[in-house]
A and B are shown apart, each in its own frame.
Chain A
Amino acid sequence: MVIYTFMQYFQFCCIFLAFIFSLRTINNDKVVGCMKGFYWYSVVAVILSGISLFNLLGDTKFLHLALIINKISFIFHYAFLSLFIFRALNVDALRRIFIPLFFAFLLCILVLLFETILQADSFLINSLTNFFLVTFSLFYYYDLFGGKPVRNLFNQSSFWVISGLFLCLTVTIPLNVMKTLLVAKNDMSLNLFITNTAIFFYAVMHLFFIKAYSCSINPTKA
């Protein structure tokens, strides 16, 4: 439990740090196209992380509300990051496949959300959302190697955002699946261990976002 608490604080710190960096990009004309408005993700993340920390500190009055907000946040998480990946794509053929897939996946998520909105268990919707995002991240990597190799990846904001996302998702998907199975078996210590790992990688994803924010304003110096 100590590790869990530490991870929650660590996650909040990383998200808050990313949020601080994101402030530089607000109303900044020098920000590269795909990063315009990306700060909203950090704003929402810092609010959600704050709520999570608030619940951890013992105030369980808003636990039910927090659960609903958390579930709705999956739609935001999915839609926001999918659209970010879409904006980062250059190959038209991929963009054409992307749009119908995006709406089909969104429909799946919405159906699942309304089915399970009052259930405490959010593993399934989390896994599904992450799986869809991993699919879109693969689109990006395909686009990266399919098009002309003229980008400088070290200074490419979209590369760092999507790589951070890809890292977080590829780790959390199998963990979520395992967690679902382990919860069924009531193995709480392993369950906690998996949660900690997921939280850690979610925090690392925001560290990647910090790199992306740094690249977004002055790519040559980042």
Chain B
Amino acid sequence: MLNQSHQSLIIFIIVVVILLVLFGVFIVTIIYRYQKRQIAYFTEIEELKVTHHNTLLQSQLEVQEQTFQHIAREIHDNIGQKLTLAKLYLNTVAYTDMDNVKLSVNDSLTLITESISSLSDVSKSMGTDIILNNGLVKAIEIELKKLNRTGLYNCTCNVTGREVFFNGNTEIVIFRIVQECINNFIKHAAGKTINIGLDYSNEELSLMITDNGQGFDTNKQATGAGLINIKKRAAILNGSCRIHSSIKGTNITINIPINENTIQANNYTGR
């Protein structure tokens, strides 16, 4: 009887140990395979982060390059031309004819004054003080006022929701997007009105730029530097950009997430 009990116990222990070992192998296999997948997943995420970072860096460099080109073009085509002309006037002054001297000097003065004004405009539009001192909304309003002053365009700005003050860099990038859109409107749209809408919600800022220009084929024009710059700048801010265009006008919608990385710490600068 004792032997039988002993035998039962031994068999019982053997069976239990075998089952436990089998299950142990099962658990270890599950954990091992899961961790293998986890390592592969995190490696992939890390690689994606690096790629994303490189893309952003590349975009920033391209945007910077574009800005330099804009400054160079402005200096060469506008200010440079005027100064060259002023120099030409002064070089060709015939000192014997005082009326001609007066005329040449006056023309040169006008050209130099215009050049200084143009330089000031370039400086203002490129500079970040206007944004940092006044905030994004005010800076956009100033930009639109300048356009309205020409009498050629009717520009409006609508703000809905509670204005959020982004950190300086973010506001500059958003402002550059608006400037790029305005430039595109002036150069290509042949329209009269442009409306810029800023809708602030808790999660994001929706920036809507609508004009009544002739529009363009979004598929064909998608390779244009201006639109690419807008998209790249939106991507820098982890935002999205949708462009809709028809013969009645163009609508560009840019959504920029509002989070603790993009807004100012106190979110109010007293401006």
Do A and B actually bind?
Answer: yes
Interfacial residues, chain A to chain B (CB-CB below 8 A): 2-3, 141, 144-145, 148-151, 153-154, 163, 167, 170-171, 189, 192-193, 196-197, 200-201, 204
Identify which of residues 223-250 in chain B touch chain A, using a CB-to-CB cut-off of 8 Å. none
Given contacts A167-B23, A204-B20, 9 further A-B contacts (CB under 8 A): A2-B5, A144-B34, A145-B33, A149-B35, A149-B38, A153-B31, A170-B23, A197-B15, A201-B16
Interface string of B25-54 (1 = CB under 8 A from A): 001001101110110010000000000000
Question: Is the CB–CB distance between B38 and A163 below 8 Å?
Answer: no
> Number of B residues contacting the other chain (C-beta, 8 Å)?
20
Residues of chain A within 8 A of B8, CB atoms compared: 3, 189, 192-193
Residues of chain B within 8 A of A196, CB atoms compared: 12
Given A145-B33, A197-B15, A197-B16, CB of A3 within 8 Å of CB of B9: yes
- What is the bound-complex CA distance between A170 and B23, given in angstroms? 9
Given A2-B5, A153-B31, A171-B19, CB of A193 within 8 Å of CB of B12: yes
Residue of chain A at shortest CB distance from B24: A167
- Subset of 12 A-B contacts with CB under 8 Å: A3-B5, A145-B33, A149-B34, A149-B35, A149-B37, A149-B41, A150-B38, A153-B31, A153-B35, A163-B27, A167-B23, A201-B19
Given A171-B19, A200-B16, CB of A150 within 8 Å of CB of B33: no
Q: Provide the main secondary structure of the chain B interface.
A: helix
- Residue of B20, B23, B33 with most partner-chain A CB within 10 A: B23
Is B11 at the interface (CB under 8 A from chain A)?
yes
Minimum-distance CB pairs A-B, first 7: A149-B38, A149-B37, A167-B23, A149-B41, A153-B31, A171-B19, A153-B34
Question: Is the CB–CB distance between A150 and B41 below 8 Å?
Answer: yes
Identify which of residues 65-81 in chain B touch chain A, using a CB-to-CB cut-off of 8 Å. none
- What is the bound-complex CA distance between A145 and B41, given in angstroms? 12
- What is the bound-complex CA distance between A144 and B11, given in angstroms? 35
Residue of chain A at shortest CB distance from B11: A193
- Closest chain-A Cβ to B148's Cβ sits at a distance in Å of 52
Residue of chain B at shortest CB distance from A6: B9
Residues of chain A within 8 A of B5, CB atoms compared: 2-3
Partner of A197, one of B12, B23, B30, B31: B12
Residues of chain B within 8 A of A193, CB atoms compared: 8, 11-12
- Residue of A149, A154, A167 with most partner-chain B CB within 10 A: A149
- What is the bound-complex CA distance between A200 and B16, given in angstroms? 8
- What is the bound-complex CA distance between A170 and B5, given in angstroms? 26
- What is the bound-complex CA distance between A89 and B6, given in angstroms? 45
Question: Is the CB–CB distance between B15 and A154 below 8 Å?
Answer: no
- What is the bound-complex CA distance between A150 and B12, given in angstroms? 39
- What is the bound-complex CA distance between A193 and B4, given in angstroms? 12
Residues of chain B within 8 A of A148, CB atoms compared: 41
Residue of chain A at shortest CB distance from B39: A149
- What is the bound-complex CA distance between A153 and B8, given in angstroms? 37
Interface string of B90-131 (1 = CB under 8 A from A): 000000000000000000000000000000000000000000
- Closest chain-B Cβ to A138's Cβ sits at a distance in Å of 12
- Closest chain-B Cβ to A166's Cβ sits at a distance in Å of 8
Question: Is the CB–CB distance between A141 and B30 below 8 Å?
Answer: yes
